[in-house]
Structure 1
Amino acid sequence: MPRDSIYQPELELALRQRLEEQAPGCLFFASDVTLVSEVSGEPVVNVTDESGRQHQIRTEWVLACDGGRSPIRESLGIGMSGNTYMQDWIVLDMIEDPDPSRFSKFYCSSIRPTVSVPAPNGGRRYEFMLLPGEKREDVLADSFLADLLKPFRDYDSSKVLRKTVYFPRSDGRQVQVRADPPPWRRGTSHPALCRTRDECGPPRRP
């Protein structure tokens, strides 16, 4: 089945523009949610802005789009469980890729498993399993990445949108894959956990 995807920076821009049209001045950056509570059946969000000022926001719902290590999830006492992979992966997002296929491809090499995934706007993501003994600073060097890409395309640093080693947790292990208990909220409170697959799971595997 062909794969469709959304380019996150374009989605975020569209959401910001729409929000400014519908509710001007209600979008805040560089702010921290310090507490989500419920008062008289309504959720109240305590926020600290970049100047240190405290704000309280009353609303009908709180959508916790704050990643796999969600502080709001932790404050609700919702743990994580499930099985996952221990390997770390080199992730390389390229633009103007010569492969026009809309299919994800899995190369089950016994030496270095590799994944090739179509991306929006003619781009493609490549994922290469990090081998024992390899270091982040070495595998992200242009010469190393050029060797990895040889079977697929020529390496051009100007076509690199993003390069990283996938370390979802500070200890280098992958995060767990399921929040408990479903469905993504607990009790009668209004916060709802919203996430993408990539926030709570490792990259696609062969």
Structure 2
Amino acid sequence: LGQAGVRTLVVEKLDAIIDYPRAIGIDDESLRTLQTAGLSDEVQKHITPYHWMRFYTASGKCFASIEPRTDEFGWSRRNAFIQPEVDQILYQGLQRYAHVQVLFGQSVCTVSQGPEGVALVVENAQGEKRTLRARYLVACDGGNSLIRRTLNVAFEGRTKPNQWIVVDVRNDPLGTPHVGMHCDPERPYVSAALPHGIRRFEFKVMPGETEEELCKP
């Protein structure tokens, strides 16, 4: 929208860009989008291309492997990345456009629409409310979207919730590339090599375990 010259207001519930680790994988289509936005050169500093994924039994035997070796669309099909770094690049990229503004710390309370556009009532941390008006509303508020629920838009599919403990370690103690999915029924876990010498471990929380005991040092 910024590139197209459309006056845009981004409403964000959080007070700032998240600085803690989140997603670690990005595909070729997403990188094409970042290239179109003119940000791919900066983003490449924080990705590892051709990121393979191997699946191991409890005894350590590899029984399946995903090894993307092609780049039909100009980019590796699987890439590791550091999301907070890329989020910052996206945010800084908005500074190129005087007609794009970001409002942090604003929660959307209600949404209404009429013949002249859309009205949002937003609220800050101090409980102060105000109304924002626009011709169009683009719902980019995630899987638990308030906008989707307000419009009664169905979200097909189902999932079985489960918890994992996620630990990111600097100065990668293993030094092995790619991602290992360790399918041990006693404790499934993931070990992933990331850019900048970071290693991610993810351990499944098993039935009967509590968050309190698992978070003890």
TM band (smaller chain): 0.5 to 0.7
Residues in 1 aligned to 2:176 and 2:136: alpha-carbon distance in whole angstroms: 43
Asked whether 1:17 is paired with 2:92, we answer yes
Q: State the secondary structure of the residue aligned to 1:121.
A: helix
Name the residue aligned to 1:127: 202
Deviations 1:68-120 (A, max 9, x none): 22211211212434243343222212222133444221111131111112333
- Per the TM alignment, residue 58 of structure 1 is displaced from its structure 2 partner at its CA by 1.0
Deviations 1:39-60 (A, max 9, x none): 3364443333445141323144
User: Residue 107 and residue 72 in structure 1: after superposition, are their counterparts in 2 closer, same or farther (change >3 A)?
Assistant: same
Name the residue aligned to 1:84: 159
CA RMSD of aligned residues (A): 2.6
Would you say the 8 A contact 1:20–1:27 is kept in 2?
no
User: Residue 101 and residue 4 in structure 1: after superposition, are their counterparts in 2 closer, same or farther (change >3 A)?
Assistant: farther
Deviations 1:128-148 (A, max 9, x none): 121222111111222xxxxxx
Determine which structure has the larger strand proportion and give its number.
Answer: 2
Match of 1:116 among 181, 186, 191: 191
Match of 1:54 among 110, 113, 130: 130
Residues in 1 aligned to 2:135 and 2:196: alpha-carbon distance in whole angstroms: 37
Q: State the secondary structure of the residue aligned to 2:81.
A: coil
When normalised by structure 1's length, the TM-score is 0.57
User: Residue 45 and residue 87 in structure 1: after superposition, are their counterparts in 2 closer, same or farther (change >3 A)?
Assistant: closer
Which one has more relative contact order, counting CA pairs under 8 Å at least 6 apart? 1
Name the residue aligned to 1:161: none
User: Residue 53 and residue 84 in structure 1: after superposition, are their counterparts in 2 closer, same or farther (change >3 A)?
Assistant: closer
What letter corresponds to residue 120 of structure 2 in structure 1? V
User: Residue 24 and residue 10 in structure 1: after superposition, are their counterparts in 2 closer, same or farther (change >3 A)?
Assistant: farther
Residues in 1 aligned to 2:79 and 2:140: alpha-carbon distance in whole angstroms: 22
When normalised by structure 2's length, the TM-score is 0.54
**Structure 1 unaligned regions, length at least 5:** 143-206
**Structure 2 unaligned regions, length at least 5:** 1-49, 52-77
